Amino acid sequence: MMELLSDPQVWILLLTLSTIEIVLGIDNLVFISIAVSKLPPERREFARKFGIAVACITRIALLLTLAWLAGLTHDLFVLFGHGISVRDLVLILGGVFLLVKGALEIREMVGGDDHEDAGNPAAKAAVSFGGVIAQIAVIDIVFSLDSVIAAVGMAGDYVPVMVAAILVAVTVMLLAARPLGQFIDANPTVKMLALAFIVLIGAYLLLEGFDVHIPKGYIYGSMGFSVLVEVLNLWAKRNARLRGEAM
């Protein structure tokens, strides 16, 4: 454990995974808000917090399951001259999922589609407290699948780091749900950047599944540089707004 804490790469990985979990978790907050709105007003806040806590447990369970499957390296069959194991299948299918999910989300953001309520199971008739919690748990699994797969692909054997990133993201969701959502809404390029990371990680997982190895340092370096550029953009945007208000 001390070796992990003293490794700078582990801290960079934790920061990256936590950021992805937080940014992509904003959509979960929208659906959670819709789900708890079916309850009486006096029970909504407790249901929101309890539901997020339950969702945290289900997300960690999903993470541990995928991490365990990714550790199975015995070949099941041969494809294109390469032995394919359960781990390879997880990486390949996860990579394809991330590529498709990221591309569709980017397309919707670029096209300006408003689909927050479309097909949302939580928008149906009122349900019991237990039903609301169950909906939140299921919704969180569905909408956190991309970030969990990304965590497994990026962190590899660093399961404690992945769990810590989820705990950080859930803590932020509990403490700063409203201001965080307002920040993402005011700066949609932050979500676009996270989705671009998802596409990048999807391509990385797909190549890894076919034994085409790319040093993770290249991935971390490109993502870190992109984050730095985004921070500078947000800083410049803020300064330009302040100058405009001063005129």
Nearest Cα neighbor of 83 from 217, 211, 236, 241 is 211
Q: Is 60 exposed, middle or buried (0-12, 13-18, 19+ CB in 10 A)?
A: middle
Average pLDDT, the chain: 75
Q: Does 193 score more than 80 pLDDT? A: yes
Band (180; pLDDT cuts 50, 70, 90): low
In angstroms, the CA 87 to CA 73 distance is 6
Of 99-113, 116-130, 194-208, least confident by mean pLDDT is: 116-130
Annotated domain spans of the chain: 6-246
Mean pLDDT, rounded, for 39-46: 78
Which residues have a Cβ under 8 Å from the Cβ of 84 and sit 6 or more positions away? 75, 76, 77, 78, 92, 209
In angstroms, the CA 206 to CA 209 distance is 5
What percent of the chain is predicted at pLDDT more than 70? Answer: 74
Token pair of 25 as six digits:
């978790």
Mean pLDDT, rounded, for 179-197: 75
Token pair of 230 as six digits:
């985004």
Band (119; pLDDT cuts 50, 70, 90): very low
In angstroms, the CA 12 to CA 94 distance is 23
Q: Does 125 score more than 50 pLDDT? A: no
Mean pLDDT, rounded, for 225-245: 87
How far, CA to CA in Å, does 134 sit from each of 83, 139, 227, 230?
A: 39, 9, 35, 37
In angstroms, the CA 124 to CA 1 distance is 46
Mean pLDDT, rounded, for 115-127: 45
User: Which residue has 């550790």 as its token pair?
Assistant: 71
